[in-house]
Amino acid sequence: MNFALIRRAGIYLFLSVAAFLSVFPFYWMAIGATNKSIDITTGQMTPGNNLVANFQSLAAQVDLVRIFGNSFLIAIISTILTLAVSSIAGYSFEMFRSRVRERIFQLLLLLLSIPFAALMVPLFVMISRASLTNTFMAVILPTIASIFIIFYFRQATKAFPGELRDAARVDGLKEWQIFLFVYLPTMRSTYAAATIIVFMNAWNNYLWPLIVLQTPDNKTITLVISALTAAYAPDFGVILLATVLATLPTLVIFFVLQRQFVQGMLGAVK
């Protein structure tokens, strides 16, 4: 038997199992959204005909427009502000020479190791003192200066040609204009990849909104799904339908920006 063939078969088997493990939860979630709760618990794996009933039940329990509106508003503002602040920071860290630059950057990276659980209480005290509890800004503000995204932009900026900045300076652009009119369009794929990461994090954010958003009107979709599971007799069909709906925006964004995402992750500047 040919060794190369066995090796190839092994690789295919491994990749098939990995693909199955990745895709199966999505399949189960989508199938579950069309079935009754009892069918799901008995392990039905084929599409059912309860989708409309599940939707009606979900719509009766949750103000879908408002909740999705909240989630979108928070995720979009959070994404825009995070990208703006963190990309400027990443660009500056890479472009401007300073004696303390590396020290500050190392300090930032060190902060990355502090778990969120340790920050929760002081953060809540700050938000509370600023009278921001139960507002969207309470959810958005702590996410804006993302150390990971600053780090990501700094690394990506290493591939940004210095001569492009020089050319822009000779062409008469001020530093902020270079950032806006040369750097930003050149780094499109980096921004696309960062958009997916930041939007997904903001959209899926659970723990912090749970703490600072207190009235039902202000809840986000992740909090609502969690609340649905907390019922005395949870309806799994409804829960899975809500989960499907909550997954859709991130999927759409990923597929729209997929090509740039891959380029951005590879750090390509063309």
Partner 1 sequence: MSSLKLKGVRKAFGTLEVIKGVDLDINAREFVVFVGPSGCGKSTLLRMIAGLESITSGDIEIGGKRVNDADPSKRGIAMVFQSYALYPHMTVRDNMGFALRFAGKPKDEIARQVGEAARILELEPLLDRLPRELSGGQRQRVAIGRAIVRHPEVFLFDEPLSNLDAELRVHMRIELARLHRELKTTMIYVTHDQVEAMTLADKIVVLRGGEVAQVGSPLQLYDDPDNHFVAGFIGSPRMNFLEAEVLDAGNGSFTAQLVNHPGVRLTKTLTGKLPAKGDRITIGVRPEHFGEPGQGIADLSLTVDVAEHLGSTTFIYANTATPEQLIVEREERHAGESDTLVVSIPAETSLVFDSAGKRLR
Contacting positions for partner 1 (CB under 8 A): 161, 163-164, 166-173, 177, 182, 185-186, 188, 269-270
Q: Do the beta carbons of residue 229 and residue 239 sit within 8 Å? A: yes
CB of 269 to partner 1, least distance (A): 7
Identity of the residue, 67 or 178, whose beta carbon is nearer to partner 1 in the bound complex: 178
CB of 189 to partner 1, least distance (A): 11
Count of C-beta atoms within a 10 Å radius of residue 56:
11
Identity of the residue, 182 or 240, whose beta carbon is nearer to partner 1 in the bound complex: 182
Identity of the residue, 53 or 164, whose beta carbon is nearer to partner 1 in the bound complex: 164
CA 268: distance to chain centroid? 21
Q: Do the beta carbons of residue 217 and residue 31 sit within 8 Å? A: no
CB of 188 to partner 1, least distance (A): 7
Identity of the residue, 8 or 174, whose beta carbon is nearer to partner 1 in the bound complex: 174
- Cα 149-123-223 angle, rounded to 5 deg: 80
CB of 118 to partner 1, least distance (A): 40
CB of 185 to partner 1, least distance (A): 4
Identity of the residue, 170 or 233, whose beta carbon is nearer to partner 1 in the bound complex: 170
With b meaning 16 or more CB within 10 Å and e meaning fewer, what string describes 162-177? Answer: eeebeebeeeebeeee
Gap between the Cα atoms of 174 and 181, Å rounded:
10
CB of 173 to partner 1, least distance (A): 6
Q: Do the beta carbons of residue 44 and residue 35 sit within 8 Å? A: yes
Q: Do the beta carbons of residue 190 and residue 265 sit within 8 Å? A: no
Strands of the chain (E only): list them. none
Going from the C-alpha of 45 to that of each of 27, 29, 48, 50, 254, the distances in angstroms are 9, 10, 9, 14, 27
CA 222: distance to chain centroid? 13
Identify how many contiguous H helices and E strands the chain contains and give both numbers: 15, 0
Identity of the residue, 122 or 163, whose beta carbon is nearer to partner 1 in the bound complex: 163
Identity of the residue, 122 or 172, whose beta carbon is nearer to partner 1 in the bound complex: 172
CB of 150 to partner 1, least distance (A): 23
